[in-house]
Amino acid sequence: MPGGAVDLVATSDVEHVEAPVTLKAYMMCAFAAFGGIFFGYDSGYINGVLSMNYVIHTYENLPYSDDTNTAIWALPSWKQSMIVSFLSLGTFLGALIAGDCADFIGRRTTIISGCGIFLAGVILQVASTNYKLLVAGRVIAGLGVGFVSAIIILYMSEISPRKVRGALVSGYQFCITIGILLASCVDYGTQNRLDTGSYRIPMAIQMLWALILGVGLFLLPESPRYFVKRGQLDRAANVLSRLRGQPVDSEYIQQELAEIVANHEYELQVIPQGNYFNSWFNCFRGSLWKPNSNLRRTILGTSLQMMQQWTGINFIFYYGTAFFKQLGTISNPFLISLITTLVNVCSTPISFWTIERFGRRPLLIWGALGMLICEFIVAIIGVTDGQNHKAVSAMISFICIYIFFFASTWGPGAWVVIGEIFPLPIRSRGVALSTASNWLWNCVSFPKFLLRNSMR
Ligand code: BGC
């Protein structure tokens, strides 16, 4: 392999390859999970904002009066859908573009650029008083979120020590849930304001997450696998040494690097790189019937993310407040929405342990079963006795149990798996395609006008 003056020590004992995980190394890898706050907050804050009376009046050009009973008013469903879905459209495109950038300019630089694009989108949103600017801001911010969400997973999976990789990537999902919770709290705090602060404060706070992530990553090292892919072994050894807290010439660093290089060289023989189009085309090569072909991996990654969205979780996090409001039997829909996000946060850490203890597959199977049962019960209650107070309380309890199953299984599981299944020559594209699939299905599964019947 060209480019490096590093003497590589090969090993066949994979258990002894990696250095012990020091607290500093752990914290460095865990910091990237902060990107989840960014992702979660951005997708979560809009839920409450769209139900705020001041927002409804401003965007619909309605005169505002304190004594008007506006509780029954809501933004037209198609406008809510447009505002929500355009972020996902931007993220879909952003994730795909980011897959390219991550190989050309590096994982870390791509994420930092995503933060910059996102900031531009947020400024437009904060400045908006009409739909056009708001939607434009959401699409641009979405591009930034797409960059960050696709490449953070790649970056975290590549820098984390193998032993704790699953738990660390689950930490990313945990941060997504904290982001959604923070968004609910901020919405809760500003919902009754009678000025533009009601929506501008929740929007502007997002900038903080982008700044923290961008600056933090600036101080963190690039992924060693990116340097190996570019043939810069000296730089790969240096960043690995920073990440593992061991000297460059230590056996740990030499052995781990040797393993990365050996894997990459083997994978290059199996998947020759070729030109630009080839590098995308490689993701679809191989037989559909061979479990380890690239095609099968790409189908697995994209369909896992699709199924994660098809669990329907975002109905709760995007439209929960509006849904609870329109049930007509709940006195404080914002509070119920806040509770659902709390259940999401508290259930996710269970996966830190279970994902390593039981493995990815069993977790996904049991989680799906749990959600299926809860969804059936919620649907049955909804269509049989949906206006009865007690029935509605039972329905909300089952929604919470359903969230518990999602948060402890499919939420983190889908991200952990896509970070692990792709070989290095197609990893950035594979993860980007899978993340884009998440956003695509996120976008097409939740246009509210399709859900109108469930919302009376
Ligand atoms: C999903 C998001 C969802 C979140 C909820 C993530 O894994 O990709 O769409 O909003 O979990 O916690």
Annotate 39-72 with b (16+ C-beta within 10 A) or e (fewer). Answer: bbbbbbbbbbbbbbbbbbbbbeeeeeeeeeebee
The atom number, within ligand 1, closest to the CA of 305 reads 8
- Other Cβ atoms within 10 Å of 409 Cβ, number: 30
Nearest CA to 308 among 419, 405, 153, 414? 414
Cα 98 to Cα 102: distance, rounded to the nearest angstrom = 6
Helices (H), 194-250: 197-219, 224-229, 233-244
pLDDT at 69: 54
- Mean per-residue pLDDT for 430-442? 92
Cα 388 to Cα 396: distance, rounded to the nearest angstrom = 12
- Mean per-residue pLDDT for 359-382? 94
Instruction: Pick from 156, 178, 313, 351 the residue to mutate for probing ligand 1's pocket: most ligand atoms within 8 Å of its CB.
Output: 313
Nearest CA to 180 among 321, 31, 306, 32? 321
* pLDDT of 456 strictly over 60: no
SS3 223: coil
The pLDDT confidence band at residue 222, using thresholds 50, 70 and 90, is very high
Cα 344 to Cα 208: distance, rounded to the nearest angstrom = 23
**Tokens coding 288:** 């559909």
CB 320 within 8 A of CB 454: no
Q: Determine the distance separating the centroid of ligand 1 and the alpha carbon of 189, expressed in angstroms.
A: 23
Q: Determine the distance separating the centroid of ligand 1 and the alpha carbon of 416, expressed in angstroms.
A: 13
The atom number, within ligand 1, closest to the CA of 318 reads 10
Q: Determine the distance separating the centroid of ligand 1 and the alpha carbon of 117, expressed in angstroms.
A: 22
Instruction: Pick from 176, 305, 318 the residue to mutate for probing ligand 1's pocket: most ligand atoms within 8 Å of its CB.
Output: 176
Q: Determine the distance separating the centroid of ligand 1 and the alpha carbon of 311, expressed in angstroms.
A: 10
Of residues 326 and 15, the one with the higher pLDDT is: 326
Residues in the chain: 456
CB 132 within 8 A of CB 161: no
pLDDT at 322: 74
Q: Determine the distance separating the centroid of ligand 1 and the alpha carbon of 8, expressed in angstroms.
A: 41
pLDDT at 164: 84
pLDDT at 77: 75
The pLDDT confidence band at residue 386, using thresholds 50, 70 and 90, is confident
The atom number, within ligand 1, closest to the CA of 412 reads 7
* pLDDT of 186 strictly over 60: yes
Instruction: Pick from 170, 302, 317, 403 the residue to mutate for probing ligand 1's pocket: most ligand atoms within 8 Å of its CB.
Output: 317
pLDDT in tens, 114-127: 999 999 999 999 99
Annotate 320-343 with b (16+ C-beta within 10 A) or e (fewer). Answer: bbbbbbbbeebeebbebbbbbbbb
* pLDDT of 242 strictly over 50: yes
Q: Determine the distance separating the centroid of ligand 1 and the alpha carbon of 255, expressed in angstroms.
A: 36
Of residues 177 and 327, the one with the higher pLDDT is: 177
Q: Determine the distance separating the centroid of ligand 1 and the alpha carbon of 283, expressed in angstroms.
A: 25
Residue nearest to atom 12 of ligand 1 (CA): 177
Of residues 62 and 247, the one with the higher pLDDT is: 247
**Tokens coding 393:** 């309380």
pLDDT at 329: 74
pLDDT at 424: 83
The pLDDT confidence band at residue 267, using thresholds 50, 70 and 90, is confident
pLDDT at 254: 92
* pLDDT of 453 strictly over 70: no
pLDDT at 15: 53
Cα 241 to Cα 159: distance, rounded to the nearest angstrom = 11
pLDDT at 391: 87
Residue nearest to atom 10 of ligand 1 (CA): 314
* pLDDT of 206 strictly over 60: yes
Q: What is the DSSP string of 18-33?
A: SPP--HHHHHHHHHGG
- Mean per-residue pLDDT for 216-237? 94
Nearest-10 Cα torsion for 146, 151, 152, 158: 170
293: DSSP letter: S
pLDDT at 5: 43
Cα 37 to Cα 49: distance, rounded to the nearest angstrom = 18
Lowest mean pLDDT among 105-119, 150-164, 265-279, 393-407: 265-279
- Mean per-residue pLDDT for 237-257? 92
Lowest mean pLDDT among 27-41, 68-82, 348-362, 385-399: 68-82
SS3 120: helix
**Tokens coding 25:** 């190394």
Lowest mean pLDDT among 85-94, 268-277, 398-407: 268-277
The pLDDT confidence band at residue 449, using thresholds 50, 70 and 90, is very low
The pLDDT confidence band at residue 340, using thresholds 50, 70 and 90, is very high
In the structure, which protein residues have their CB atom closer than 6 angstroms to any atom of ligand 1? 43, 173, 176-177, 180, 308, 313-314, 317, 344, 411, 438, 442
Residue nearest to atom 2 of ligand 1 (CA): 314
Residue nearest to atom 5 of ligand 1 (CA): 177
Chain center to CA of 381: 31
* pLDDT of 398 strictly over 90: yes
The pLDDT confidence band at residue 165, using thresholds 50, 70 and 90, is confident
How much is the mean pLDDT over the chain?
86
